[in-house]
Amino acid sequence: MHSVKTAAKELGVSPSLIYRLCNAGKLKHERFGLGRGTIRIAPEAITEYRQRSSVPQIDRTWATRRSQSKHLKL
């Protein structure tokens, strides 16, 4: 289980972003203790968040068509 600080380092973001992701329900976590408790994040939750956050590769075939159309001013 990772602390907020460790999870932030692993994702390359700030700890405040990790807190916001947890509060928004976008990053699975567990709270231990009384009151607000201590947040712990499983390595699987970080992997799952990374997979959901991945942006698919864009088809850039339009770029080659654009360069062939020299008579058009874009």
| Of the candidates 46, 47, 37, 44, the residue with the CA atom closest to the CA atom of residue 17 | 46
Residue 40 near residue 32, CB atoms below 8 Å:
yes
Torsion of CA 15, 10, 43, 22, to 10 degrees: 20
Band of residue 24 on the pLDDT scale cut at 50, 70, 90: very high
| Long-range pairs for 29-36: beta carbons < 8 A, 24 or more residues apart | 30/1
Q: How far apart are CA 53 and CA 74, in angstroms?
A: 32
Residue 40 near residue 53, CB atoms below 8 Å:
no
The arithmetic mean of pLDDT across residues 1-18, rounded, is 96
The arithmetic mean of pLDDT across residues 40-50, rounded, is 96
Residue 9 reports pLDDT greater than 70: yes
What is the reported pLDDT for 56? 79
